[in-house]
Structure 1
């Protein structure tokens, strides 16, 4: 991102802060008509991207926008301004029936080109390429053989479907709608959490809880990153914010740089899995499925706790094996320091309460944001003055801008997949390869989502994979009673952890830069520490007890299986349980742990006793061996 000169930096700051405040107002007092809101959202947040992000970091000026950047910004505003001004006519026109005029064609092409360029600069080049390839496919698909063959689309049909058909997808489709409304207000809530000092509360709480134990800094990283992730909404920003403190501390007490980067990136990625604010993709899930967001966070709660339990367990065993000590007492904050900020949890409690009471997400976030400002005034150290409020609004705007164009691009991809029938075709290909086997279908979808995550952010990756895979999961999972929420949570988990899995892992690469380690090695360690993302993802389908479904016994069995399995897998990775383990014991624990986690062909009443029995036997064996060694 550029360092703009003073007058321009001030202008962009005021612009972003003002429009973020307008979105907050809409969240509490009602939004304009959908097409007005969606076009306004893109109109105000797309142009600043060309001023803030250079076209080429090595060749473009980094202290000012060029004339070309100003031209790009003006061009990017034109299509959205036209739609905003003509919102009534756009809403009333009959799609594919009313003429698509030359003016509309010019504006549609301008919108596509400027959107692709803004994504290339500010989001991910891979997403820009995917959108471009999808549009190209509509032009040439009728020349392709077999399942890829489509009907002939005219240029007008292609541009209209991508730009001006808000009911079916495209730039102004429902996905842009949910980002411009609910997600925008939650981003504001997260920004005000950060501005009030809630991040300091989370960091101090993590250090006070875990700092005095073996591998303390790593456990602090896990806890603080998980808490911070509930307000940041971005795994990369989570890494940069918390990792700047935790990664050097982990390296200083003995962790290898790549291991420290892997721990931080795995913990930061999991922030999007942690209720009550699970990132943009979770709100999109609520919009797509029509499932209340409160129900989603309840279903995801145990899975998120299991994810972080596995990271803490892995960190503990790693620290024990390497002989890493706790944090120095001087670095551990006193509990009075933690309690000095404890009042900042009240708005979070209010948010959870309103969501559980089925209030709309945008109104719950609006009330909680105002409550955060009010609660911050209770103590001088957290008091938000006008500068802090302006900074929080600006940070929210900086987060909204790239998200706005990436979600609009996802709408274009969904529109293309729907218009060409590739949703059905891709689903049919996956289903055919799976041969009617649900387990094989899930593995193929897992790989698909992880591959999409190589060059696409979490939310677009989830949207595209859900469009392709959810109908197939529901069809093959019908005998097991698999429902919409289970299928979507499965895909959601893998879309999230794709940010930490090799070969391209945005969060792991950011952590590796801080640790001065190999990005590839860091991403491998991140996958190891985040193993629960894989086990919990499959458990959503086969063990719905972790979604708090069924009676107490079903919930206990499903959760206990995951706890025991993850303990065995992480200890086998580290080569340590109560004492260092040799290869035979590591293979035994790892094999039985994997069977308990993924062997859904066996009933719970077999997997849990087997895994728990083997774990207890190995623990007793090591305990007895330790006693004998001590006596000798």
Structure 2
């Protein structure tokens, strides 16, 4: 991002702050017509990207060039036209009314500027995926076999990609959910940071975990999880919290790559943690028509288990290396934590409103207003006009890249649907699975992880869900013996978890690479450590489909057993990888413990109580063996 000179920087700050404030206002008092709202959203957030992000490394860093201004003007034109002609766009019959030459020219302008904005501000991989999708619509009829599609005219391609508000494309429902609910939540998250809630989270993590073995690492896990609920970006979460926690972890004895892995694993998990869970969860609510509150409840145990596994991994690593807790001088007293405790009230209000089935945008609006009011109760948290302006502008800077990435994902989904590629790709994966539901899930997990190499979490989830969820519903209803409608939410959570984990999984892991830069460690090695510390994401992802108790479905017994299986399995896996339980573990017992943990986590073909007994017996037996061994034999078991 450019470091702009003061006049232009101030102008863009005011522009983004005003755009965020208008989104917040609409969240509380009602939105205009859908097409008008989507046009306004793209009009205010796409053009600034050309002024904020340079085209090339050699481009000016302190000012936009003339081509940048031209790009910004070109990006504004199609969305301004849509807003001005909203009644024409709303009333026209898609694919029936003529798509005029003017509309075609504006569609080309909208798509080209969107591609360039995506390349600059988001990911070049997403830009290429959009291009490939458009090319497939144009020439897919030339491809023989299962990938063959019907011919499309240029007008059909442009209309499907741009102006079909009820289906996909730039102005589709995905842009609609970002322009409404997600935008207001981003504003709320920005106000949480501006009010000092981040300081509350940091101090709470240090006060709660700093006195224990490996204190800085546990502080990083807790703080990053709390930050992740409001930041919306795993990379920004790494940069924000990792600048403090990674050097602390290295200082007390963690290897740089391990420290970076801990931070990146904890940061990506913020998108899994209720009550916010990131943009993809709101898209999930829109796509599945399942209330967001129900999604939050279903994901709660899985999110806790994810962070439980990271804390276990951190603890055994610290015990193995004999690390000390944080220095007493670095641990804030509880009275300092209490000075910011009132900032929890707006978060509690948000949760209460959503559990009471108020709309997400209205709940976030009320929580944002409450945040400003509650923060004013103490001088140290009071937000003046500068802090309010900065929070609104920061929300705008977060929303702008998200706006283009979701619009781009809409083009890809539109192309996949119109050409039948969704069915073709799903059929290929299903054929490779050979009728085996576990193999299908493994193939889909790999597909999502591969998509995540070049795409942000939300577009990756959207595209993978379009391909994979129908296959899960089809094959899973037979394999599990349940109606397809009962698998809708588990299937989407499965895809969602792996889309989140892609940010920390090798070979390309954006969050891990950011952490590696801070730790001055190998990016690949850092991502390997992040993946093994985030192992719960893999086990819980499969458990959503096989163990409904993990989603708080069924009676107390089913919930307790499903949770207990994950707890003992994850403890066994973490201890086996680190080679330490109560004391160091020898290679044979280490392998046995790892196999027992993997069997409990993934071998769903045996009874649940047997899975629990396998992992619990292995853990208990090894712990008893280590306690019984004489001192000279402890290092060999």
TM-score band (shorter)? over 0.9
Aligned to 1:192: 191
Separation of aligned partners in 2, 1:615 and 1:577: 9
Separation of aligned partners in 1, 2:167 and 2:527: 37
Aligned to 1:41: 41
Q: Given the alignment of the two structures, is residue 163 of structure 1 paired with residue 167 of structure 2, yes or no?
A: no
Normalising by structure 1, report the TM-score. 0.99
Q: Given the alignment of the two structures, is residue 69 of structure 1 paired with residue 73 of structure 2, yes or no?
A: no
SS of structure 2 residue aligned to 1:387: helix
1:105 CA displacement: 0.9
Separation of aligned partners in 2, 1:420 and 1:613: 52
Q: Given the alignment of the two structures, is residue 549 of structure 1 paired with residue 549 of structure 2, yes or no?
A: no
Q: Given the alignment of the two structures, is residue 511 of structure 1 paired with residue 510 of structure 2, yes or no?
A: no
CA-to-aligned-CA distance 1:512-552 (integer Å, 9 cap, x gap):
11111111111011001100000000000001101001001
Aligned to 2:240: 241
1:476 CA displacement: 1.0
- Relative to structure 1, the CA distance from residue 626 to residue 38 in structure 2 (aligned partners, 3 Å threshold; closer, same or farther) is farther
Aligned length: 629
Q: Given the alignment of the two structures, is residue 490 of structure 1 paired with residue 489 of structure 2, yes or no?
A: no
CA-to-aligned-CA distance 1:281-317 (integer Å, 9 cap, x gap):
0000000000000000000000000000000000000
Aligned to 1:528: 532
| Structure-to-structure mapping, 1:116-515, within 5 angstroms | 116-479=115-478, 480=480, 481=482, 482-515=486-519
Aligned to 1:59: 58
Separation of aligned partners in 1, 2:607 and 2:30: 50
Task: Answer yes or no: is the 8 Å Cα contact 1:579–1:626 preserved in 2.
Answer: no
Separation of aligned partners in 1, 2:632 and 2:612: 30
Which ranges in structure 1 are unaligned for 5 or more consecutive residues?
none
Q: Given the alignment of the two structures, is residue 575 of structure 1 paired with residue 579 of structure 2, yes or no?
A: yes
1:628 CA displacement: 7.5
Aligned to 2:622: 618
1:626 CA displacement: 5.4
Aligned to 1:109: 108
Separation of aligned partners in 2, 1:124 and 1:553: 45
Separation of aligned partners in 1, 2:516 and 2:633: 40
Aligned to 1:30: 30
Separation of aligned partners in 1, 2:354 and 2:591: 45
1:64 CA displacement: 0.3
1:96 CA displacement: 1.5
CA-to-aligned-CA distance 1:35-69 (integer Å, 9 cap, x gap):
0000110000000000000001x210000000000
Separation of aligned partners in 2, 1:451 and 1:629: 45
Aligned to 1:602: 606
- Relative to structure 1, the CA distance from residue 218 to residue 626 in structure 2 (aligned partners, 3 Å threshold; closer, same or farther) is farther
Aligned to 1:4: 4
CA-to-aligned-CA distance 1:418-467 (integer Å, 9 cap, x gap):
10011111111111111121111100000000000000000000000000
Task: Answer yes or no: is the 8 Å Cα contact 1:48–1:73 preserved in 2.
Answer: yes
CA-to-aligned-CA distance 1:147-194 (integer Å, 9 cap, x gap):
111111111110011011111101000000000000000000100000
Separation of aligned partners in 1, 2:268 and 2:108: 36
CA-to-aligned-CA distance 1:115-166 (integer Å, 9 cap, x gap):
0000000000000000000001111111111011111111111001101111
SS of structure 2 residue aligned to 1:483: helix
Separation of aligned partners in 1, 2:340 and 2:94: 54
Separation of aligned partners in 2, 1:598 and 1:220: 30
1:614 CA displacement: 1.4
Task: Answer yes or no: is the 8 Å Cα contact 1:50–1:73 preserved in 2.
Answer: yes
SS of structure 2 residue aligned to 1:325: coil
Separation of aligned partners in 1, 2:490 and 2:603: 18
Separation of aligned partners in 2, 1:331 and 1:543: 42
Moved over 4 A (4+): 626-630
SS of structure 2 residue aligned to 1:152: coil
CA-to-aligned-CA distance 1:357-402 (integer Å, 9 cap, x gap):
0000000000000000000001000000100000000000000000
Normalising by structure 2, report the TM-score. 0.98
Task: Answer yes or no: is the 8 Å Cα contact 1:169–1:414 preserved in 2.
Answer: yes
Separation of aligned partners in 2, 1:145 and 1:116: 29
The root-mean-square deviation of aligned C-alpha atoms, in Å, is: 0.9
Aligned to 1:586: 590
SS of structure 1 residue aligned to 2:629: helix
